[in-house]
Amino acid sequence: MLFHVEMTVKLPPDMPPEQAADIKAKEKAYSQELQRQGKWRHLWRIAGSYANVSIFDVTGNAELQDLISGLPLFPYMDIQVKPLCRHPSSIHEDDS
Protein backbone atom coordinates (compact mmCIF):
# COMPACT_ATOMS: atom_id res chain seq x y z
CA MET A 1 0.00 0.00 0.00
CA LEU A 2 1.37 3.41 -0.96
CA PHE A 3 1.22 6.50 1.23
CA HIS A 4 2.09 10.12 0.46
CA VAL A 5 3.70 11.52 3.61
CA GLU A 6 4.68 15.16 4.22
CA MET A 7 7.01 15.79 7.15
CA THR A 8 7.98 19.19 8.49
CA VAL A 9 10.73 19.24 11.11
CA LYS A 10 10.59 21.79 13.93
CA LEU A 11 13.58 21.39 16.20
CA PRO A 12 13.47 23.47 19.39
CA PRO A 13 15.58 26.61 18.95
CA ASP A 14 17.32 25.92 22.25
CA MET A 15 18.34 22.36 21.34
CA PRO A 16 22.14 22.02 21.70
CA PRO A 17 23.84 21.71 18.29
CA GLU A 18 25.52 18.44 19.29
CA GLN A 19 22.16 16.88 20.17
CA ALA A 20 20.62 18.08 16.89
CA ALA A 21 23.56 16.68 14.90
CA ASP A 22 23.25 13.31 16.66
CA ILE A 23 19.51 13.05 15.99
CA LYS A 24 20.00 14.03 12.33
CA ALA A 25 22.72 11.39 11.86
CA LYS A 26 20.47 8.70 13.35
CA GLU A 27 17.58 9.91 11.19
CA LYS A 28 19.69 9.66 8.04
CA ALA A 29 20.84 6.11 8.84
CA TYR A 30 17.29 4.96 9.66
CA SER A 31 15.74 6.54 6.56
CA GLN A 32 18.42 5.14 4.26
CA GLU A 33 17.88 1.64 5.65
CA LEU A 34 14.12 1.94 4.99
CA GLN A 35 14.94 3.09 1.45
CA ARG A 36 17.21 0.08 0.90
CA GLN A 37 14.38 -2.19 2.10
CA GLY A 38 12.02 -0.58 -0.45
CA LYS A 39 9.64 0.68 2.22
CA TRP A 40 10.58 4.36 1.77
CA ARG A 41 10.24 4.42 -2.00
CA HIS A 42 10.76 8.13 -2.73
CA LEU A 43 12.14 11.06 -0.72
CA TRP A 44 12.17 14.70 -1.86
CA ARG A 45 13.19 17.81 0.03
CA ILE A 46 10.77 20.75 -0.17
CA ALA A 47 12.88 23.68 -1.33
CA GLY A 48 13.27 26.47 1.18
CA SER A 49 12.06 24.55 4.22
CA TYR A 50 13.10 21.80 6.59
CA ALA A 51 10.48 19.45 5.17
CA ASN A 52 10.07 16.55 2.79
CA VAL A 53 7.55 14.73 0.67
CA SER A 54 7.89 10.97 0.70
CA ILE A 55 6.23 7.89 -0.74
CA PHE A 56 6.11 4.84 1.52
CA ASP A 57 5.31 1.34 0.25
CA VAL A 58 4.13 -0.69 3.24
CA THR A 59 1.57 -3.36 4.12
CA GLY A 60 -0.84 -0.89 5.71
CA ASN A 61 -1.57 1.79 8.29
CA ALA A 62 -0.02 -0.05 11.23
CA GLU A 63 3.32 -0.63 9.50
CA LEU A 64 3.45 2.98 8.36
CA GLN A 65 2.75 4.16 11.92
CA ASP A 66 5.51 1.92 13.27
CA LEU A 67 8.06 3.17 10.72
CA ILE A 68 7.21 6.85 11.09
CA SER A 69 7.09 6.75 14.89
CA GLY A 70 10.52 5.10 14.82
CA LEU A 71 12.07 8.15 13.14
CA PRO A 72 14.49 9.86 15.55
CA LEU A 73 13.05 13.23 14.50
CA PHE A 74 9.44 12.04 15.00
CA PRO A 75 8.91 14.02 18.24
CA TYR A 76 9.82 17.21 16.35
CA MET A 77 7.70 16.67 13.22
CA ASP A 78 4.37 17.77 11.89
CA ILE A 79 3.24 14.89 9.64
CA GLN A 80 0.43 14.60 7.11
CA VAL A 81 -0.42 11.21 5.58
CA LYS A 82 -2.53 10.47 2.50
CA PRO A 83 -3.18 6.93 1.28
CA LEU A 84 -2.67 6.45 -2.46
CA CYS A 85 -4.13 4.05 -5.00
CA ARG A 86 -3.27 3.31 -8.61
CA HIS A 87 -4.80 5.65 -11.17
CA PRO A 88 -6.62 3.78 -13.95
CA SER A 89 -4.85 5.89 -16.62
CA SER A 90 -1.34 5.16 -15.30
CA ILE A 91 0.94 3.27 -17.69
CA HIS A 92 3.20 2.12 -14.84
CA GLU A 93 2.51 -1.36 -13.50
CA ASP A 94 4.63 -0.87 -10.34
CA ASP A 95 2.70 2.05 -8.86
CA SER A 96 0.11 0.09 -6.94
pLDDT tens, residue by residue, 35-86:
999 999 999 999 999 999 999 999 999 999 999 999 999 999 999 999 998 8
If DSSP codes are grouped into helix, strand and coil, which group holds residue 38?
Answer: coil
Q: How confident is the model at residue 87 (pLDDT cuts 50, 70, 90)?
A: confident
> pTM of whole model > 0.75?
yes
What pLDDT, in 10s, does the model give residues 12-37?
A: 999 999 999 999 999 999 999 999 99
Domain ranges for the chain, please list them. 2-84
Nearest to 31, CA basis, from 46, 21, 41, 22: 41
**Residue 55 burial (C-beta neighbours within 10 Å; 0-12, 13-18, 19+):** middle
2-84 homologous superfamily: Dimeric alpha+beta barrel (3.30.70.1060)
